Amino acid sequence: MQFDFTILGGYWRFLLNGVLFTLSLSILSIAIGLATGLVVGIARTYGPRWLDALLSIYVDTMRSVPLLVILVWIFFALPLVSGYSMSPFIAAVVGMGLHLGAFVAELVRAGLTSIRPGQARAALALGMSPMQAIRIVVLPQALIRMLPTFGSLLVITIKDSSLASAIAVPELMRQSQVVVGQTYRPFEVFTAALIVYFVMSWPVARAVDHLYRRIAHLGAS
């Protein structure tokens, strides 16, 4: 069998549109996941027990259910209960954001509890409020310690965006499937998609790793 990558030339705009959707989906999902995870992680660490128990239901549920199932449920099943239907893109952003948020919450909780309690007590002794002690003293050090795992979560989110093809989001994987259906050239098309995902993910992993190497000493305590 002969391979002909030149056939991709006629579909580059179509595939580029898929790349843009993938980037948009990933960025918005990461933003929601970070905001949700940070709030939930802090609340579970420093909040009352009843709040920790309540939020643990969200965290455990999201971490236990496959992302694909969450996306399909939000897009197809949730409208039957709520009476409100979302576009495939919005459903994917919500599903991926909430799914990522559960993992970020546990990462934040682990990072916060890894900081020695004496630092928070010293901050309180200096006249800081509990929230100031967390924001100024504890959280910055914890965030540095979280960086390596956080980098992995970013890469996983970019890759998991391909699952949104299951609910017809026109991201890269979905567009690639359409092109394969028209050209019958799965090797060329999916190889190109593989390379593009690598190009999107690898710099993120390397950038986070490089940042961590430069500031890791600031998280030592």
Q: What is the pLDDT along the chain (221 residues), one digit of tens a residue?
A: 678 788 898 999 999 999 999 999 999 999 999 999 999 999 999 999 999 999 999 999 999 999 999 999 999 999 999 988 899 999 999 999 999 999 999 999 999 998 888 888 888 888 888 888 888 888 888 899 999 999 999 999 999 999 999 999 999 999 999 999 999 999 999 999 999 999 999 999 999 999 999 988 876 66
- What CATH architecture applies to the domain 24-219? Orthogonal Bundle (1.10)
Q: DSSP readout, the chain?
A: ----GGGGGGGHHHHHHHHHHHHHHHHHHHHHHHHHHHHHHHHHHHS-HHHHHHHHHHHHHHHHS-HHHHHHIIIIIHHHHHS----HHHHHHHHHHHHHHHHHHHHHHHHHHTS-HHHHHHHHHTT--HHHIIIIIIHHHHHHHHHHHHHHHHHHHHHHGGGGGGGT--SHHHHHHHHHHHH--HHHHHHHHHHHHHHHHHHHHHHHHHHHHHHGGGG--
pTM, 2 dp: 0.92
- Domain locations along the chain: 24-219
